[in-house]
């Protein structure tokens, strides 16, 4: 690794394992550099997907937030908006991510813990109370039940008088990485891909400005993936989604412009900048050459970045402010379209309001006090960054070819390939930290004899009972016969080939809960069981 992983000969290496030279020269640049670079806003988008990038406007500043009840999260969102956030990013609790209601036995002890609990349209109304949905861009980090939460959002917008055509935002909706790195899957891969394709088709007609998927390498990186593994496995998943949509009868240029991606930004700034530039180049080539996309917007890899949560430390947490600033610089110099900066106290607990505000201020200082927004792609032509970009590109393409050797990303997932590769990398990093060859400030070097006390933000344990009471009231007041009819229509669509989002929306409008909708699909599609080869 760049920061301090010397080999036996004393050389230093990048996170992806490439030797990092003390000096780079003209001879280290690829011979076809001009062709690989292009112009900003032009194929192959190495220098950015837009001609002017941040010289005309900065990136979207999102802050990932959500905890406890919808009321509490709504208050945090309005605080963030008042402090200058330009986009919301919703964190859901684990039961919601898994498609269970707060009163389900499996949800016990997890309600409101790592995000906000959303059980029905009533919770979604509260979550976005007094937030004009035609004026904010909202990202929702939700995967297996992504379509359910998107439809709840659309229903609340319609109640505000905002049509689907005016909504802007993103759902993560990336189920393949759940099988690789996170585990919040529900259904097996085949029906899960069907649900993704149905969402593509629905949004093209009903919510045309919505980003229908955020294909995520972030969680793979948090699990231990190197930069090369992060982009190789993410782009391989992207290829699988494109193929699934085409097989479902969609034209590539009808959905590809709304695809987006989600990456991490580590403290190894130079390699991260190179990683982002390489990823754009690879995706542009795949979309134009492999899939024959004609619309230049289909070739663009647009992405959101989050600073590296896995690199935050509970020891000397204020040092995380510096880590996050360095990581944010890498994302900005790499050309991200939106950015979330982690709060310095997140290794301890949910971020306090002050910590969340400081994280946002980090972005604002970069945007308004530095000169990085004055020019496009400030690293273009840099010996080291261009050499690293070429190295990462070539290694990632080779790793994607290994995925294809299994037949596709799905077959590779079922064989446990990506998971094994990531776990090997994670083990290596753990060994380096334990040995001290990888320096982590405040953990294995520059430590303190004692830490200052810190009072974390805590989630009220009575939330679970309160949510259960809300659900009981909802079920007693609604037209349960109408709910059952709507759920029966959803099951029928799932058994056939009709787009499931239309009956799903009607069930949610009738006040079916998230858990009830997901249970209806579980009855038809079953549950995913990981292979014992993992």
The pTM of this model reads 0.93
Which run of H or of E encompasses 63? Answer: strand 60-65
Tell me the chain's radius of gyration from C-alpha atoms.
23
Domains in the chain and their CATH numbers? Answer: 12-65+172-435 (3.20.20.240)
Q: What is the pLDDT of residue 532?
A: 58
d(CA 434, CA 5): 12
Matching residue, tokens 């077959």: 411
Task: Determine which helix (DSSP H) or strand (DSSP E) holds 304, and give its type and residue range.
Answer: strand 303-307
Contacts of 476 (CB under 8 A, 6+ apart): none
Distance, in Å, from the CA atom of 127 to the CA atom of 69, rounded to the nearest integer, reads 8
Residue in this structure with the two tokens 């944010």, named with its chain if needed: 328
Give the C-alpha distances (Å, rounded to integers) separating 497 from 195, 198, 394, 506, 518.
Answer: 11, 10, 40, 18, 18
Check: CB of residue 518 under 8 Å from CB of residue 148. Answer: yes
The C-alpha atoms of residue 278 and residue 483 are separated, in whole angstroms, by 49
- DSSP per-residue letters across 15-62: TTSPEEPSS--GGGS-TTHHHHH--TTSTT-TT-SSSSGGGTSPPEEE
| Residues in Cβ contact with 72 at an 8 Å cutoff, skipping those fewer than 6 apart | 116
Q: How far is CA 351 from CA 8, 263, 337, 365, in A?
A: 41, 21, 24, 20
Predicted local distance difference test score (pLDDT) of residue 163: 98
Q: Which residues share a beta bridge with 12?
A: 20
Identify which of 253, 191, 207 has the alpha carbon closest to the alpha carbon of residue 497: 191
Residue pair 199/147 in contact (Cβ under 8 Å)? The answer is yes
Q: Is 218 exposed, middle or buried (0-12, 13-18, 19+ CB in 10 A)?
A: buried
8 contact partners, CB below 8 Å, separation of at least 6 = none
Return the H-helix or E-strand segment holding 368. Answer: helix 353-369
Neighbours of 267 (CB within 10 A): 23
SS3 478: coil
* CA 530/CA 534 separation, integer angstroms: 7
Question: What's the rounded Cα separation, in Å, for the pair 294 and 376?
Answer: 26
Supply φ then ψ for residue 372, to 5 degrees.
-70, -20
Tens of pLDDT, residue by residue, the chain (534 residues) = 344 454 445 679 999 999 999 999 999 999 999 999 999 999 999 999 999 999 999 999 988 888 889 999 999 999 989 999 888 999 999 999 999 999 999 999 999 998 999 999 999 999 999 999 999 999 999 999 999 999 999 999 999 999 999 999 999 999 999 999 989 999 999 999 999 999 999 999 999 999 999 999 999 999 999 999 999 999 999 999 999 999 999 999 999 999 999 999 999 999 999 999 999 999 999 999 999 999 999 999 999 999 999 999 999 999 999 999 999 999 999 999 999 999 999 999 888 889 999 999 999 999 999 999 999 999 999 999 999 999 999 999 999 999 999 999 999 999 999 999 999 999 999 999 999 999 999 999 999 998 888 777 777 889 999 999 999 999 999 999 999 999 999 999 999 999 999 999 999 999 999 999 999 999 999 999 887 554
Residue 458's pLDDT is 77
């Amino acid at each position: 690794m760049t920061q301090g992983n010397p080999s036996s000969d004393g050389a230093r290496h990048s996170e992806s394992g490439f030797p990092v030279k003390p000096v780079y020269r003209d001879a280290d640049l690829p011979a076809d550099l001009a062709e690989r670079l292009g112009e900003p806003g032009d194929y192959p988008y190495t220098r950015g997907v837009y001609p002017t990038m941040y010289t005309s406007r900065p990136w979207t500043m999102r802050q990932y937030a959500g905890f406890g009840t919808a009321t509490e999260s709504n208050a945090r969102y309005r605080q963030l908006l008042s402090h200058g956030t330009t986009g919301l990013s919703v964190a859901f609790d684990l039961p919601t991510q898994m498609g269970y209601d707060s009163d389900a036995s499996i949800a016990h002890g997890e309600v409101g813990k790592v995000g906000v609990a959303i059980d029905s349209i009533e919770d979604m109304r509260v979550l976005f109370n007094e937030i004009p949905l035609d004026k904010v861009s909202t990202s929702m980090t939700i995967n297996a039940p992504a379509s359910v939460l998107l439809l709840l959002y659309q229903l609340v917008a319609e109640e505000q008088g905002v049509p689907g055509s005016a909504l802007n935002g993103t759902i993560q909706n990336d189920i393949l990485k759940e099988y690789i790195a996170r585990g919040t899957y529900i259904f097996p891969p085949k029906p899960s891909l069907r649900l993704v394709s149905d969402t593509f088709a629905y949004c093209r007609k009903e919510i045309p400005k919505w980003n229908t998927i955020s294909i995520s390498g972030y969680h793979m990186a948090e699990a231990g993936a190197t930069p090369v593994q992060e982009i190789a496995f993410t782009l391989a998943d992207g290829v699988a989604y494109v193929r699934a949509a085409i097989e479902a009868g969609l034209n590539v240029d009808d959905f590809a412009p709304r695809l987006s991606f989600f990456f991490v930004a580590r403290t190894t700034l130079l390699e991260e900048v190179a990683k982002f530039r390489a990823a754009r180049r690879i995706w542009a080539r795949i979309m134009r050459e492999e899939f024959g996309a004609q619309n230049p917007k289909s070739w663009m890899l647009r992405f959101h970045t989050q600073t590296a949560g896995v690199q935050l430390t509970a020891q000397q947490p204020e040092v995380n402010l510096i880590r996050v600033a360095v990581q944010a610089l890498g994302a900005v110099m790499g050309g991200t379209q939106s950015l979330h900066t982690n709060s310095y106290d997140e290794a301890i607990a949910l971020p306090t309001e002050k910590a969340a505000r400081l994280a946002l201020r980090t972005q604002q200082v970069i945007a308004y006090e530095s000169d990085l927004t004055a020019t496009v792609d400030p690293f273009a032509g840099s010996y080291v960054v261009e050499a690293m970009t070429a190295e990462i590109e070539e290694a990632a393409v080779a790793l994607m070819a290994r995925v294809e050797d299994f037949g596709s990303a799905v077959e590779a997932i079922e064989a446990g390939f990506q998971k094994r590769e990531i776990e090997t990398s994670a083990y290596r990093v753990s060994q380096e930290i334990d040995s001290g060859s990888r320096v982590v400030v405040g953990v294995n070097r520059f430590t303190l004899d004692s830490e200052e006390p810190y009072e974390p933000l805590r989630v009220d344990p009575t939330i679970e009972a309160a949510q259960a009471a809300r659900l009981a009231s909802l079920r007693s007041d609604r037209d349960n016969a109408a709910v059952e009819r709507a759920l029966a229509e959803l099951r029928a669509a799932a058994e056939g080939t009709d787009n499931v989002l239309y009956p799903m929306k009607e069930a949610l409008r009738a006040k079916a809960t998230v858990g009830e909708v997901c249970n209806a699909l579980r009855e038809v599609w079953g549950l995913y069981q990981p292979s014992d080869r993992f």
